[in-house]
Structure formats: C-alpha cells, structure tokens
Chain A
Amino acid sequence: MAMVSLAKPDNEKRNARRRPVLSRDFVSILPALLLVLVFFVAPVLALLSRSVTEPVFGLQNYIALLGSSTYLKIFFNTFFVSVLVTVISLVIGFPVAWTLAIMPQRWAMVVFAIVLLSMWTNLLARTYAWMVLLQRTGVINKTLMGMGVIDQPLTMVNNLIGVTIGMTYIMLPFIVIPLYGVIRKIDPAILQAAALCGATRFQSLRLVLLPLAAPGMIAGALMVFVMSLGYFVTPSLLGGTANMMLAELIAQFVQSLVNWGMGGAAALVLLVVTLSLYALQLRLFGLAGGERT
C-alpha cells in the first residue's frame, strides 16, 4: 500500500488496474485447486502416511518392499517395460511426426485425426481389441497359420510381447504430438542448405534434423516413460503375472490384500520416481515442454 501511494499517479492507476486482474486469475483457479486438494492431495497423503504407520510406526514396509527379490523384480519389470515402450514409441513415432510435418496440410489433418481418434477411443475397448488380435486363436495367428507362415500359434498375450505392443500403441500419440510441434517449426531451408553443402540424406538427418528435433523427442520420451511407469489397465490385461508392474502391485496391496502400509510404500516409491523425472523435464524444457524451440 505504501509503495502505491509513493508511486507516480499514472503508475498508481496501472497498479490499480492490474491488481484485481491478478486476484481474479487466482480466484478462477480456486475451484480446481480445491477439487485437487480435497479429492487428490489429501487422500494421497493419507495413503502415503500409512506406509510409515501401519502396522506400527517405522520403516518396516520399505524394508520389506526393497528387501524382497519378488518386489525388486516388479520394480525391474516396471522400468524395463517403460524403457522398451519409450524406445519403440520414439522409433515408430519419429517418422510419423516427420511425415505429418512435411505432408500437405489437408492430408496431415487426416492422419492427425486418425492418431487422435485412437487416443479418444475407450482404453479398455482398445486393450480388448489387442487381446482379440493377439491371442493364440486370434486374427493374427489364424491368418499366419492359414498362410502357412507358422504351424504353431505364436504366444503374443499374457507376456512381455503383449504388454509392449499394447502400451506402445497407446503411448504413440504422446510422442507424435510434441515431436510434430517441434519438427513443424524447423525451417525446410535448413535441410536444403545441408544438401547444398554436400550432406548425404543420412548426414542431414543425423547432424541437422535430429539435433533440432531433440527437445521434442526428449519431452515426448519423458512423458511416455513417466506415464508407462504408472500404467495399470494394459499390463494387467495383456501381460502375464510374470510381467507384473508397480501399479498392479499397488492395486493388489490396496484392494485384495488390504495391506495399506505396503501399498502406500510402493505408491511413494512410484511417486518419487515420477516427480523426479517431471522435475527433470521442467528443468530441461520449462512448462511448455516440446512446444518451445
């Protein structure tokens, strides 16, 4: 207040105009903030606090979780599948984003719509569709056996293959969209310049295009990796019990075994890893992620 009265009259006017705008901004996010606090932050904290209070106060749940080879294997599965899905999504997603960026606008819209449409279809429906396609008596096996390519059905569900295929498909849009944003902003003249300077196509890809697209790739990859870490539906339907992931373990602790101490401990481990990766992303790219060039 004192500052305002000391300021020049026109400054005062400006401040008077700005201030309500700021508080109105805050007020308008209040309902969302309240909703998140009441329905997300509070219950999550309550579950996490149980990890050190149940059955007695202490770190027993963390010792049990990190000291057992069974649970360590589930941590390993979670990271392994997430890395695998991220890498494959990048390898498939890059050409798609690139093609989208250089296509005539009208066709790009169509392809983009296809990418988005799959994203908007119900997750369970998509996962069941993969089950129908991949199972031993499914469309793919029947076709391959009919063509005489194989004589025994391939096992593609209830194992690592099923999880990887199902999750890669679901994660692809999350890589394509940020990558598309970045690649579209690359001036095609730069590639022409590279070609004029005698770069081969591979050289201009490696030395020009990839470095310029890197922010989008890293942003997309981080997003896919983080989302994969906590994925539940697809691994539980397309994976076998031997490929169990962390989210399934948490659900099992909370729903079936009703051991909330262990459930909270596993959830905290997942949360810490996820938030660290998110912090890394923020540091590297800021809030806008891949949109910034």
Chain B
Amino acid sequence: MTSKTIIASLAVLLGVAGQSFAADMVFTSWGGTTQDVQKAAWADKFTAKEGIKVLQDGPTDYGKIKAMVEANGVNWDVVDVEGDYAIQAGSQGLLEKLDFSVIDKSSLDPRFVTDYSVGSFYYSFVIGCNKDATTACPKSWADLFDTKKFPGKRTFYKWSAPGVIEAALLADGVAADKLYPLDLDRAFKKLDTIKADIIWWSGGAQSQQLLASAEAPFGSFWNGRLTALSATGVNVETSWAQNITAADALVVPKGTKNKEAAMKFIAFATSAQGQADMAAGTGYAPVNVKSPALMDPAIAKTLPDQQTASQINADMAYWAKNRDAIGERWYAWQSK
C-alpha cells in the first residue's frame, strides 16, 4: 500500500517533469504581438522547412535562464533577450557559443553580432504623441522633458535598460557623441525635474494603452508599437529626432540538449527572408542587410534603418559592463 502510493506519486511528479522533453525545441520571447510575429515569421516556417517542432514559451526571464543553466536543466533552446544582457550573460558563461558555420553572419549588421549572440531585430526609442489628445506634440527629447511647454503626464520605459538615461542626457544638452560613459548624476538630476509627471510602462501593450487612452498623451516608445497602434486607427505622431536604437538578441542557454536545432533556428531567423518577414510584421528593423531588398518599399520606408540621419546607437558594451550598477541606482531612484 505504502510503496504503491509512493510509486504512484513519484510517477505523477515524473509525468509532470517529463512533459518538457516531448517537444523538439523551445523558443522563448517576451510575448505579445512581437512574439506572435516571431512565431509566424520564424517558427512556423522553420517547422515546415526542417520538420523540427518549435514550442513557444515566455516571457523571457533572466532569473530562469540562470537557474536552468546552474541546475543543468535547460529547456529553453533559443531565447530572445536584450542586447546588453546577451553580452553580460555571454561573459558570465551562461550561453553557448554560436556556430557560425551554420549561421551566416556575412550579411548580418556587425553592430549586433557577438560570439554568443546575434541580433533578433533592432528598434528605436522614439517620441510618440497622441495628436487627438494634445494641441502640440513634443518633437525632441528636450521637448519631452519640458513640462512648461508640454504640460501633462508622459510615459517612459520602466526597467533599467538603454534608452531613458540617454534621453535625459540628450534633453539636457549632452552631445550625441559624448553620451558614453553615461553621466548618471546629471541624468538623474534631469529626470528629477519630470519625475512627478512620469507614468512608467512595463511592457509594450501597456505603452500602447497609455497612449491610446491619452492617460499619457506623449512619451518614449518602441517604434514598432507606434506603427501597430497607428494601424488600429489611433492618430499617432512619431518623432524620429535623435531616435535611440537598441537591439534584442537571440541566444542559446548553455547546456541545451537541442543545440543543433537551436543553431539552425537562429540561422533561419536571421536569414534575409526571416528578418524581412519579421520587420514587415512588427515595424522593427531587420539585422540582415539583405532584408530590405525583399520587402515592400512602402513598409521598408517606415523602419528605423531609414532614420539613421539623427540616430544614436545605445552602447551595448558599456551597458553590459555597467548593467548591475546602473540597475541598482535606477530602482533606488525610482522608489524614492
């Protein structure tokens, strides 16, 4: 009786644990409309071509990646992460080296390639404005930080990541080529001046909701979310002045059992066609330089890679090195 029960309960436990081995490979990203496109543009077509089933999981969680690698129980095979995290995690030994005999990096934008990661897509932080909710739209970061000229709530990305600190420094008059190393004291001082008027968005869907409802009639957004919002009929104005680019990256956690499939998947996702489909679906820019030629010119025109005139690249290497220190200071400042 007793031993039977123990065996039965163990079997239940193993049954639960065993389910994760049924899939061929697992792709993890941030959810929402972006992952929907990643599934349609990459996973479904990859399965059709290679016969490897791709399960979707999410959202990306750096704590989980670390836990899986340490416990040697990795069941995320390819993960979409932030570019600065990819560099940091690579140096901490949490990632597999990518196999560039499978992944063709010759046509990938070198800004987004490291030993451990390649770009997933790249995006810009731009200034978005709901034209129906305000008489005048801020055109520059300085405008967005000017509560006299543009009174009201404004929304910014909540988490410690490239984007907001750079915007604060640019608004305070720091020259684009003098941004790094970031003058944190100066940035937080500038941010203090608008802190009471900031509503933080923690995810893309929330940023769209804030802008569409005019809870915050303007703010800093991922460009793709504005494209999507304007397609739903919201009267959105996008200002690309000093748009700040950052990229997501595809990585493979160390110790995955599906390394070969993972490399093939990344090769497919970063191919000219994979990147073109992804860009067309999300409004983010492709990391493959051959992709724009494959795209509808009308769509290609709206992407961040057409806005290089006043574009500023967030320094991912700087962020990777200082990510923890900036993070601690950022959250301490936010909670004050």
Contact = CB atoms under 8 A, between A and B. Distances in A.
B139 to A, nearest CB: 24
A137 B210 CA distance: 10
Contact of B62 (A38, A242, A255): A255
B324 interface: yes
Interface string A24-64: 10011011001100100000000000000000000000000
Interface in B200-220: 200, 202, 213-215
Contacts of B5: 27-28, 30-31
A241 B332 CA distance: 10
Interface residues of A, dominant DSSP: helix
B66 interface: yes
Nearest to A252: B331
A258 B9 contact: no
A27 B335 contact: no
Nearest to B71: A46
Interface in B61-113: 61-64, 66
Contacts of A240: 200
B66 A135 contact: no
B9 A137 contact: no
Given A23-B2, A258-B63, A137 B215 contact: yes
Contacts of B2: 23, 27
Interface string B179-203: 0000000000000000000011010
A30 B213 contact: no
Interface in A256-282: 256-260
A257 B335 contact: no
Interface residues of A, number: 31
B9 A30 contact: yes
B327 interface: yes
Given A30-B6, A255-B63, A257-B324, A244 B335 contact: yes
A254 B327 CA distance: 13
A34 B9 contact: yes
Nearest to B158: A241
Nearest to A38: B13
A256 B6 contact: no
A136 interface: yes
A254 B61 CA distance: 9
A258 B62 contact: yes
A133 interface: no
B61 to A, nearest CB: 5
Contacts of B23: none
Interface string B147-167: 000000100001110000000
Contacts of A255: 61-64
B158 A31 contact: no
Given A23-B2, A34-B10, A137-B215, A256 B335 contact: no
B293 interface: no
Contact of B63 (A73, A158, A244, A254): A254
A137 B200 CA distance: 16
Contacts of A74: 335
A63 to B, nearest CB: 15
B328 interface: yes
Interface string A200-231: 00000000000000000000000000000000
Given A30-B9, A34-B10, A242-B336, A158 B199 contact: yes
A137 B331 CA distance: 28
7 contacts: A27-B2, A30-B9, A68-B332, A70-B332, A137-B213, A255-B61, A256-B327
8 closest A-B pairs by beta carbon, nearest first, are A31-B9, A241-B334, A70-B332, A254-B63, A255-B63, A244-B335, A27-B5, A137-B213
Interface of B: 1-2, 5-6, 8-10, 12-13, 61-64, 66, 153, 158-160, 199-200, 202, 213-215, 324, 327-328, 331-332, 334-336
Interface of A: 23-24, 27-28, 30-31, 34-35, 38, 68, 70, 73-74, 135-138, 158, 236, 240-242, 244, 252, 254-260
